[in-house]
Structure 1
Amino acid sequence: MDNAWLVPLSMLLGGVFGAGVVVLVIAAERTARAADVAERHLPDGVAAVIATMHNPAVVVDPSNTVVAASPQALVVGLVVRRRLVHDELVDLVDRVRRSGENATEDLELTRGSRDAVGYLGFRAALLGNRYVLLTADDLTESRRIDEVRRDFVANISHELKTPIGAIGLLAETLVAAADDPEHVRLFAAQLVTESERLGALTKDIIELSRLQSLDVVETSEEVAVDGIVQAAIDANSVVAASRDIQIVRAKKSKLRVMGDAALLQVAVSNLVANAVKYSPDHTRVGLGVRRADGFVEITVTDQGVGIPEVDLDRVFERFYRVDPARSRATGGTGLGLAIVKHIVANHGGDVRVWSQPGRGSTFTIRIPEADPELTSALEEHLEEQQS
């Protein structure tokens, strides 16, 4: 009988002991989780600072889980589901964690799921004993500007090489032919042509550089569009008449825009000059003006050679020529349309082109129309200041 109750007792004691072990294990796990959560918790204020940063910034823990990130870090695609997207960043963080020293690295990275590429300068540093702080400067725009500047300098060097070389060669030939008046006259005329081309190129380079340095138009006033159009026609009438090209304009519009009259005249005149330059003799160039959705549109249409579709997106690039041989023959600098684009952009507008080979081209400048109420208020304000 004694043995009969010993078995249940032993089972009861075993169950109590087992339950105690289970309770202890659960308690230990909870303690470990609590300690882990406590260790994962960032120092006071760090998360708030990271959240307000304008630059990309993230904080990662020992498992490389992102525990804090600035909005910009998400925008540029550095973090997805609390993980660093790019292996290069993981390697940078691990390197800092191993060495204990700060590190910097410039990386070219794709932006999220898009094909766009960004250039970012990263800095990584230890944050306490557990975390690594990773910050970045977006270098994409500055890198693009540097590339544009390098291309511009390279293009200038290439474009200047031709007229300078021609002038030097003609000068040498002129000296050698000093005793031959006919050759002297011939080479002197060619020398004048090349020097004029060099002068035109230098002028356009200076003008374009000046336009690119302007954020807004320096002198802005209400300008009559009809006067701009007529001035552009007058500037090109002699060249057009020499080739029997008729410049035809629509009736006066009496529309007005805000801006710099001299710059706007340069833009429209450049379009007219291009239309005349690339049109066959005995044809017409048309100018039209109209109001459209708060903008004033100035169109220049020719019956020239036209522009292939593949070149339409590039005609406003500096030094870009659809037909380099033809441009050299006509004395073009390759900067006229780039100047037009910058002038119009500085006036808050844009320039568009339609063209088909063999059917001609139409360039359209769109500039915001002057608001009579706003312009009159501006004039009254200026008068008050002057008085």
Structure 2
Amino acid sequence: MDSTWLVLIALGLGIAVGAGFTVFVHAAARHGEQVSRVLAPSVPDGVDQVLGALENVGIVLDSSDNVLRASRSALALGIVRGESVSVREIVEIADQVRRTGEPVSRDIIVAGTRFGEIARNLSVRVAPLGTRFVLVLADDNTESIRLDEVRRDFIANISHELKTPIGAIGVLADAIDQAAEDPAHVRRFADRMTTEADRLAALTAEIIDLSKLQANEALHEPQLLQVDEIVADAVDRNRVVADGKRVTLVTRAPSGLAVFGEAPLLTVAVHNLISNAIHYSPEGSRVGVGVRRTDGVVEISVTDQGVGIPKSDHDRVFERFYRVDDARSRNTGGTGLGLAIVKHTVQNHGGEVSVWSQPGNGSTFTIRLPEASGIDAIAADPAARPERTTT
């Protein structure tokens, strides 16, 4: 039997037998989180303690869908806002339970309403609580579903992508063996083998990086970061390649903007965008990198004068191993993972990345991140607090 339904049974018994249930819930409360009291009206004895013992969403509604009790998870996920349930589907299920008197279980998807917030997959269970109330319980399955998709896609992608360099190395090894008496051919095949080995090493490293990003939603040690420093570091990493192609890297004046995050991750994300822009730009062209603030959001844009991307590919360029021009990408040493790493890095920082492009007119990739406000900066760095003066 599902553990959540055991909670429902326990609640029903509590309403009926009172004192015996109270012993149970007080024991559970010692290990659970405290429930938030949204309104004052009284609910059956022990409900507060049971909701407090739940790690997932727990809500008690009255006959008018007012929230009487809500667990911290319900508040943290934004399912309860003020005195109401913000998810229309949950309210509809509660109304159905009132009409039928029967418990209902349903899986729903709740769209993100705040910047950088992802859609959530919830398994919702709603049941009568006595004659006056309705109990809502929900499990957030978003992470488990996401990891299942990542594992499934990873196996399919990697089995295909690794075949090319591994197969090439095998063929070249045979060629070297057959050309053992011809030093010139041996050197040529050995150079090509080195190129394929380097590509395999780069692919393996990026697979590891992407796997780490996809396995962790939250950042480990976010810090207050100066965006101008992130951009400058990423630009410096690309100067040698840009000079080799006679591509000019142009940056705007310092912005003075800040975000919260991990510097190495964001630097790699911006570096990948600049590197892509250089590789797909003609010789003698320019790549611009700019930073600006729009409505509390920091935008980092990388613009090139390259071949551009068809509109039909805009939604797919951030997929793992997806290449608009497969042959060109391989010729430039691309692994097909650079933009996927950008996407997951930015999402882990609570932001988003988008592309504007037209074939023949270049492309602009834009990273959007929540700005760290002045108050946030002071909280993160006590030294930034203004000095007090006395007279």
Match of 1:209 in 2: 211
Identity of aligned residues (%): 55
Match of 1:293 in 2: 295
Q: Distance between the aligned counterparts of 1:222 and 1:81, measured in 2?
A: 48
Flag the 1:261–1:323 CA change in 2: closer, same or farther, 3 A: same
Q: Aligned-pair distance for 1:136?
A: 10
Q: CA RMSD in A?
A: 4.2
Q: Aligned-pair distance for 1:264?
A: 1.3
Q: Distance between the aligned counterparts of 1:365 and 1:139, measured in 2?
A: 28
TM-score w.r.t. structure 2 length? 0.64
Matched ranges for 1:1-387 at <5 A = 45=15, 75=90, 142-143=144-145, 145-380=147-382
Match of 1:351, as an amino acid? V
Q: Aligned-pair distance for 1:346?
A: 1.9
Q: Aligned-pair distance for 1:296?
A: 1.7
> 3-state SS of the aligned residue for 1:290?
strand
Larger radius of gyration: 1
- Count of residue pairs the alignment pairs up: 301
Match of 2:220, as an amino acid? E
Identify unmatched segments of 5+ residues in structure 2. 1-11, 17-43, 59-84, 110-120, 126-136, 384-391
Q: Residue by residue, what CA displacement relative to the aligned partner does 1:267-297 show, whole Å, maximum 9, x if unpaired?
A: 1100000001111222111111112111221
Q: Aligned-pair distance for 1:108?
A: 11
Flag the 1:121–1:253 CA change in 2: closer, same or farther, 3 A: closer
Flag the 1:205–1:254 CA change in 2: closer, same or farther, 3 A: same
Q: Distance between the aligned counterparts of 1:226 and 1:44, measured in 2?
A: 59
Q: Aligned-pair distance for 1:257?
A: 2.1
Q: Distance between the aligned counterparts of 1:215 and 1:140, measured in 2?
A: 11
Q: Residue by residue, what CA displacement relative to the aligned partner does 1:52-99 show, whole Å, maximum 9, x if unpaired?
A: 89799xxxxxxxxxxxxxx999639879867999xxxxxxx9xxxxxx
Flag the 1:232–1:143 CA change in 2: closer, same or farther, 3 A: closer
Match of 1:32 in 2: none
Q: Aligned-pair distance for 1:119?
A: 10
| Preserved CA contact (<8 Å) 2:150 2:214 | no
| Preserved CA contact (<8 Å) 1:120 1:140 | no
> 3-state SS of the aligned residue for 1:258?
strand
Flag the 1:204–1:282 CA change in 2: closer, same or farther, 3 A: same
Identify unmatched segments of 5+ residues in structure 1. 1-41, 57-70, 86-92, 94-106, 112-117, 123-134, 382-387
Q: Aligned-pair distance for 1:338?
A: 1.0
Flag the 1:110–1:226 CA change in 2: closer, same or farther, 3 A: closer
